[in-house]
Structure 1
Amino acid sequence: MKMRKRGLLIAFIMLFFMVSLVSADVFLIQQPKDVYNYGDNLEVLLGSDGGEGWVSIDLVCSQGFKTLYFQYLYGETEIPITLPLTSKFLKDLTGECYLSITFEDLVKKSSTFLITNRINVDVKFNRVDFFTNENITFTGVASKANKQPVTGAAKITISQIGLESIVPVENGKFSGYIIFPENTKAGDYNMDVFVYESKSDQITNFDNKTFSLSVLQMPTSLEINSPDNVNPSSEIDISSVLYDQAHDSMDGFSVALNVFDVNNQNIKNILLKTGEQVKLIIPKNAPYGYWNITAESEKIKTNKVFHVKENKEAEFVISNNTLIIRNIGNVPYDKFIKISIGNTTKIQPLNISTASSLLLELSAPDGVYDVEVNDGDVKSNARVALTGNVIDVRSPYEGSGVLGVINKGFFAWIFVFMILGLFIFISIKKVAKRKSVLFFDGSLPKKKEGDKGGVVKLSSSDSIGKSSGGKTRIEHVSSEALPSLVLDGEKQDSSVISLKVKNYEQIKSGKSNAHGAIEEAIKEITSNHGRIYRKEDSIVGIFAPVITKKFDNEVNAVKVAQKISNLLNEHNKRYTQKVDFGIGVNNCNIIASKDKGKLLFTPVNNSISGVRTISELANNDLLLGEAIHKKLGAKVKTSPHSHGGVKTYAVLDVIERKDNDKFIKGFLDRNKEYKDDKPRFKQ
C-alpha cells in the first residue's frame, strides 16, 4: 500500500513538471517575409501559451547577430514586434538571415529570409548607334528585391564626355533623353545608370547598370589637298579628305574630283576614295593663271583654287637651212635669242604667241657651218650646209634679209584683229547712240524720252589728277555681280546676303505684286552699294571692299538684310500672294575686281554656296553665319541656333552707336582736360 502511494506521488510530480514544460512555450504566430529591402519594417507576431520568463529575439546573419527584442513575459499570449531595417540599425547585416528566439533555456529559429539593398533595373533605348545631331531617348523600370516599385531617382553618367543628368523615378518608372555635343568623337561610350532610393539624405537601396552606346561618324566637311602654286611640266598630288563632326578623317568614301583650267574648261574628271592620292600632270603649255578643283562626297561640295605659274619656253629645231622656233610654254615667248652661224652671232628679240611657231631661213656663203641657237635656258646646235652670198637670218615671208618675226598664224591673227575691230566699231556706235562721252566741258547732254542708258557716276578731275585738264570724268556704274575666273583681282573678305525665294515657281507663273516686293528687296541691296548676282530663286548681294570702298561691311549688310526681311514680312501681312523666303548673311572670301562698275568675283572654298545654305534654313527671317557673327562682336545682339549641324544666329537687335557717340562728345566738351594729350597728373 505504501509502495502504491509512493508510485502515485512520483507519477504526479512527473506529470506536474511535464505540464509546466509544455505550458512554458513561445513561438512565432507570423513568420518573417521572404525578402526585405533596406527601409522596410520587419514585422513578426510572437505567441506564448501564457507562461512566464525572459524571452529574447536575435537577428542572425552571416556577418553576426543583433538583439532585436528582450523582455520578461508575464502571461502575454500575443506580442507584435516591429523593427525598422535601416542601415543605421542593421550596421551592415545583410544576406540570408533568421530570427533566433530564446525563452528560458529553450531556443527556436524562424524561417530564413533575405535582407538586401539591391534594386533590379532594366533600360531600353530608341537606338544604340546614332549621329550626334540625333536625340537618344530611354525608358527604364526599377523594382526592389521585395517586388515593390522604386520611388527615387536615376543618375545618368557618360564619363568620357563629362555628361551627367538626373531624372526622377516614380512608381518604378523613369525616362529621359540624351544629346551628345555636336563635336563628339565617333566610337563606343559607356552610359552608367545609377538608380537609388534615399531616406534622410542617405541612400538605402540602389543598383548601377552600364550600357554601351555608339556614336557614328557624320560627314561635315570636305577638304582638297593640293599645292597652291604649280610649275608647268610638273606632276602634282591631289587628294581629298572627308572630315566628321570631330574633324577626324573618314577614309574610303567615293569622291568625284573635277579639274578646270583658267578658261573654266574641264580638264580632267577623277573618281577615287577619300584618303587616296591621284597624280595630275600639268603640261608645259598649261594655261597660266588660277585653276580650280571641285570635289563632292557624301553630298558635301568644296573647291580649291591653285595657281599655274608662267612658263616662257621655246623649242629650237635646225633642219637644213631652216630654224624652227616653237613656243611650247603657256605665255608669249618674248625673249632674246642668240643665233650663231660659224663665227658670226646675231642677237634678236622675239615675240611668239602661245602655241605658235616661227620659221627662219639661214643663209651663208656656200659651205658647212656650225649653227647654235641659245636663249639662256635652252640651247640647240647642228652642223648644216648653207648657201648664199652673206651670213643672214630672215623670214621666208620677207623679201629682205631683215630678221622676220612673223608668226605662222599670221592670217589667223589678221582674222582676230578684224573681229576685234568690228566689236570696237559696234561699241562706239552704241556709245554714240547713248550720247555718253568720256570727258566733257561741264554741260551734260539732255536725256530724251525713252532713252534707257546705264547709270553713270561723275568724278571730279581733282580726284584723279591734273592730267585730265580740269574736265569731269564719267564712270559707268552697274548693279551686277558676275561670277567669273578673276586672274588679276584681290582676295577680299566680303559680306554676302543670300535671299532665297522658296515659292519662286509659284510667283513666277502668277501675276501678283509679289514681284514688286522682290524688286524692292533687290533695290535695297543696290542702293546700299551692294552688287547683285541673281539666279532664278536665289538672289545674292555682295558688299565687297572694292565696291564699297571700306573693309567693314558687316553691320551694313545685316541692316540691309533686316530691312528686306521686314519689307517681305509686311508684304505677307497685306497681300494674298505670300513670299516664302529665307535670308542668310555671312562673310566670304572672294577674288574680286571691278570692270566698268560691275563686280567680277571668284568664290574661294565654296563660300557663296554656304550662305545659300543658311538662307534655305531660314524661315521668313534672317540668320547669320559663324564668320560674320565673330566679326560683328557686340555690334549685334543674337541668339544661337543649330540647323542640321550648321551653326547660325538669329538677329535680336543691331546696336546703334550714334547715341553713345553723342554722349561721349558732350562729355569731352564739358571736360576739356580729357582732350588734352598731356598727362592729367603731376609727378
Structure 2
Amino acid sequence: MKKELVLAGLCLVFFASFASARLMISEPEDVYSLGDKLYITVEGIRGGDSGNLNINLDCGNVSVNLLKISARAFSPEGGQSYSLPYKVLTSEDLEISSLSRIVGNCQVSVGVGDEKVSTDVFEISNNISIEASVDKLHYDPGEEITLSLSATKSNGHLVSGFVEGSNASDFSKEIENGALTEVFSMSDTAEAGAYVLNLFVYDVSEGDGILNQGLAKVLFKINQVPSFIDTGLSAVEITPEENLTISTDIYDQSGKEMDGDVSLLIVSPDGGEIQRTIKSGDFVALNFPLNATAGVWSIFSFFLEINEEDEFEILELQKAEFEFQGSILIVKNVGNARYQKNVDVKIGDTLEELVLNMDIGEERRFNLKAPDGEYEIIVNDGDSSASRSVVLTGNAISIDDLRNVGIFKNYSVIWIFLIVVLGGVGLVLFFKYRKKSVRLKDKVKKVPGKIKKIKDKVKGRVPEKYSSKVSDTLHFTNKSPTSQSLDEHEEKDGMIDLTETKVGKAESSLVLKGERNSSTVIALRIKNYEDLGREGRKRVANIVAGVKKEKGLVDWRGEYIFVIFSPLATKTFKNELLAAKAGFDIFEKINLGNKKFKDKISFNIGINSGDLVASKKKGKLQYTSIGSTIALAKKIADSGSGKLLISNSVRKKLLKDLKSEKAEAVGKTDVYEVSKIIDRSSNQEKLTELLKRMERG
C-alpha cells in the first residue's frame, strides 16, 4: 500500500511538470475590423540553443509575421510567458502592401522549435453595416427631405468617419458615434418619379486611406406637380364669322406634359362668360355669333391650383341683313359694330343710294315706291346683297325712311318755331358770359410775370454757389433737363438724339388725368456712360432703339434708360413678355458689341412690373409711377453687373416663357437672373398641324 502511494505521487509530479511545459496561446475576439488592436499572450515557452519564437497572423494563404524572438531569450526549463505588444490592423503596423490580403478568416499561430499552437479561427472584416431611411416616401419638388442614418463596424463599434451621398443628391458629411441626420431637397424642377440616394460610409487612417466601408441605398419619390398651363390659340385676332380653336397642355415642374382636365372661362369685354372643359393635349373650337362683342376677350385656364390667362381680339364687323315685306325694305344691323355704309338699292333700272348709320342690332324700314308695276329690286352694300321681285305703286321711284314718318314730319312748323326760340336764348347767354371770358384772359396774361417773381425769390434765398443749379431746374415743367434734351436735334452734354432712331418716347411727369394700368418697366443702367465716347453712346442709342419692335417707349435720363411698356402703347395687358424679350435683346446686343468693339459698355438691366398712370400727349407717353414700380426697376439695375434681372412679379407671369435662376434679393424683393427666352411659336405650329390632321381625317 505504501509503494502504491509513492508511485501515484511520482505520476502526479510527472504530469504536472509536463502540463507546465505545454505551449499555450490566448484566444482573440471573434471579429476584428481594420484598424483594431490585436493582443496576444503566449504561455509555457521553453527556450533552447537554436530556433526562434514566431508569432504569425495566418489568413488563407497569407502569413504575416507579428513577432520573431530567438529561443535563447527563454529558459530551457520552460513555463515562461510572453505578451505581444498590440498590433494595429493597418498596413503600416503589419508591414504589408495591402490590407485586403488579411480580410477574411484568420488564426494566430505560435511556434518555438518543434512546438506549435494556433488560436481558434476569427474574422477580420472591412465591412460597415448601414441603416438609412427618409422621413416619408413621397415629396413635392423642392420639399425638404430628412435622412436618418446609423453605421456600425463588424466589430460592433460605432463608426466615426464620413458619409457621401450621390445620384439623387450629392453631399459629403462627417459622421460621429455612428449617427447622422441630413436635410436636403430636390430641385424645384426635378422630374416626377422614383429616386435612389446612394450612400457610402467609411473611416480612414493616415497611411491606408479608407479602412472600413459600407454601401446603402434609400428610395423616395417626387410627386408630379402641375406647374403651368400652355394655352394655344389658332389666331389672336378673329372676326365673328371665324372659328377660334383653343388647345391646352398641362406641364409639370420639369416641363413634361401631364394628364388632366382643364377648365376654360372665356370672358367678353362686356363681362359675358363662356365655360368649357377640355383634356390636356386636346382642343375645342368656339363659334361666335355675328354680333359677338368686339374687343379684347380673356381666356382663363384652370387646373387644380394653377391658372393661365390669355387674350384674343374679336374684330369689328359691319354686317347687315336685307329682307322684304311687300314694298317695305328691312335693313337690320346683325354685326358687332356700328353699321356705317352706303347701300345701293336698284329699282328696275334706277339706282338709289341709302346712307346708313345704325347702332348694333338696330333695324330700319324703308318704303319703296315706283309707278305701278312689278320691279326687280336688288340691294347691295358691297358685302351683302338681296334681290326680290316686288309689286310697287306710286307716282315716281322713291325711297321713304319710315323712321322719319312721325311727329316731326306732321308738325314741322312747330319744330321750326321751337328751334328759332332756342337759338335766340342761346345768343343772349353767349353775349352775357363773353365779358367774363375776356377778364379771365387778362388774368392768364399776368401768370408769366408772377412765375418770374417766384423764380427770383427762390434764387435770392439760395447760396450763390448753388444758384446756377437752381436756375436750371426752375422750368415749371415735370420734365427733367436731361429728358427735355431728347426733343432737340443736337448732342447736348453727351446725350445722343433719339429722334435719329425714330423710337417712341416717354417722360416722367405728374399725370392728373390718365389711365391707371399695370405696366412693365425696363431699367438699363450704363455704368460707364460718362466715359463712353460718341461712338459708344451711339451704339447704346441704336441698341435701345430696338425696343420699338415690342412697342416700348424710351425715357432716357443720363446713365439710366427707362423703357415703358404701357397698354396705351402696346394695346395689350401682357407687357411682361414684351419687356422680357426687349430686355434680352438689349442684353445680347450689348454683349455682342462688347466682343467686337474696343469701347466696352458696362451695364446692368432690371425689369419690374406695377401700376403707372399714363396719358398720351404731343406724341409722347407721360406717366406717373404708382408705388415702387420705377424705383424697384432702378434698384434691380443697380444690384448687379452685366446681367438681365427681373423681379418676382415679372417671373410669376413668365414661368413658361423664360429660364431663370434666383439671384441676390434686393431688399425684401426676390430677384431672378434670366438666361434664356423660350420660343413658344412651336406650340402654334403644333396646333396648326393638329388641325390639318383633323381636316384630313
Cα 1:628–1:231 change in 2 (3 A) is farther
Please state how far the C-alpha of 1:155 moved relative to its aligned partner. Answer: 1.4
Question: 1:208 corresponds to which residue?
Answer: 215
Which one has the bigger helix percentage? 2
Question: 2:33 corresponds to which residue?
Answer: 37
Contact 2:321 2:331 in 1 (8 A): yes
Question: 1:262 corresponds to which residue?
Answer: 269
1:639 and 1:358 map into 2 onto residues whose CA distance is 56
2:237 to 216, 229, 235: 229
SS in 1 for 2:146: strand
SS in 2 for 1:310: coil
- State whether structure 2 residue 85 is matched by structure 1 residue 86: no
Contact 1:336 1:348 in 2 (8 A): yes
Question: 2:126 corresponds to which residue?
Answer: 117
Gaps of 5+ in 1: 1-14, 401-405, 407-424, 447-455, 464-475, 485-490, 497-543, 556-584, 602-607, 616-621, 654-683
Listed as ranges, the matches of 1:147-296 within 5 Å are 147-157=156-166, 159=167, 163-200=169-206, 202-226=209-233, 227-252=235-260, 255=263, 257-263=264-270, 265-270=271-276, 277-296=283-302
Question: 1:27 corresponds to which residue?
Answer: 24
Which range moved further: 636-645 or 339-348?
Answer: 636-645
Contact 2:379 2:385 in 1 (8 A): yes
- State whether structure 2 residue 108 is matched by structure 1 residue 99: yes
**What is the one-letter code of the residue matched to 2:59?**
C
2:189 and 2:380 map into 1 onto residues whose CA distance is 61
Please state how far the C-alpha of 1:144 moved relative to its aligned partner. Answer: 0.6
Listed as ranges, the matches of 1:127-142 within 5 Å are 127-142=136-151
**CA offsets per residue over residues 532-589 of structure 1, 9 Å max, x none?**
xxxxxxxxxxxx998979894489xxxxxxxxxxxxxxxxxxxxxxxxxxxxx96238
2:107 and 2:13 map into 1 onto residues whose CA distance is 34
Please state how far the C-alpha of 1:177 moved relative to its aligned partner. Answer: 1.9
Please state how far the C-alpha of 1:117 moved relative to its aligned partner. Answer: 0.7
Question: 1:336 corresponds to which residue?
Answer: 342
- State whether structure 2 residue 58 is matched by structure 1 residue 60: yes
Please state how far the C-alpha of 1:399 moved relative to its aligned partner. Answer: 7.0
Please state how far the C-alpha of 1:113 moved relative to its aligned partner. Answer: 0.9
1:121 and 1:437 map into 2 onto residues whose CA distance is 99
**CA offsets per residue over residues 156-177 of structure 1, 9 Å max, x none?**
22x35xx422211112222332
Which range moved further: 139-148 or 298-307?
Answer: 298-307
Please state how far the C-alpha of 1:34 moved relative to its aligned partner. Answer: 0.6
Please state how far the C-alpha of 1:112 moved relative to its aligned partner. Answer: 1.2
1:493 to 520, 530, 534: 520
Gaps of 5+ in 2: 1-11, 92-96, 409-425, 448-475, 480-486, 488-508, 524-550, 565-605, 656-660, 669-697
Cα 1:129–1:444 change in 2 (3 A) is farther
**CA offsets per residue over residues 450-501 of structure 1, 9 Å max, x none?**
xxxxxx9899xxx9xxxxxxxxxxxx975476557xxxxxx963479xxxxx
SS in 2 for 1:350: strand
Contact 2:322 2:329 in 1 (8 A): yes
1:623 and 1:65 map into 2 onto residues whose CA distance is 80
Please state how far the C-alpha of 1:249 moved relative to its aligned partner. Answer: 4.4
Cα 1:209–1:554 change in 2 (3 A) is farther
1:153 and 1:251 map into 2 onto residues whose CA distance is 43
2:162 and 2:284 map into 1 onto residues whose CA distance is 57
Listed as ranges, the matches of 1:268-667 within 5 Å are 268-270=274-276, 277-398=283-404, 440=441, 443=444, 479=512, 493-494=520-521, 552-553=561-562, 587-588=608-609, 594=615, 629=636, 633-634=640-641, 650-651=665-666
Cα 1:217–1:196 change in 2 (3 A) is same
Cα 1:126–1:335 change in 2 (3 A) is same
1:261 and 1:441 map into 2 onto residues whose CA distance is 51
- TM-score, normalising length from structure 1? 0.58
1:590 and 1:651 map into 2 onto residues whose CA distance is 19
SS in 1 for 2:219: strand
Contact 2:365 2:403 in 1 (8 A): no
Cα 1:302–1:19 change in 2 (3 A) is closer
Contact 1:492 1:589 in 2 (8 A): yes
**What is the one-letter code of the residue matched to 1:328?**
V
**What is the one-letter code of the residue matched to 1:493?**
T
**CA offsets per residue over residues 231-270 of structure 1, 9 Å max, x none?**
2133323355554443444542664x4332223x132244
Tell me the C-alpha RMSD between the 2 structures: 5.2
- TM-score, normalising length from structure 2? 0.57
Contact 2:513 2:615 in 1 (8 A): no
Contact 2:639 2:666 in 1 (8 A): no
SS in 2 for 1:443: helix
**What is the one-letter code of the residue matched to 2:192?**
A
Please state how far the C-alpha of 1:137 moved relative to its aligned partner. Answer: 2.7
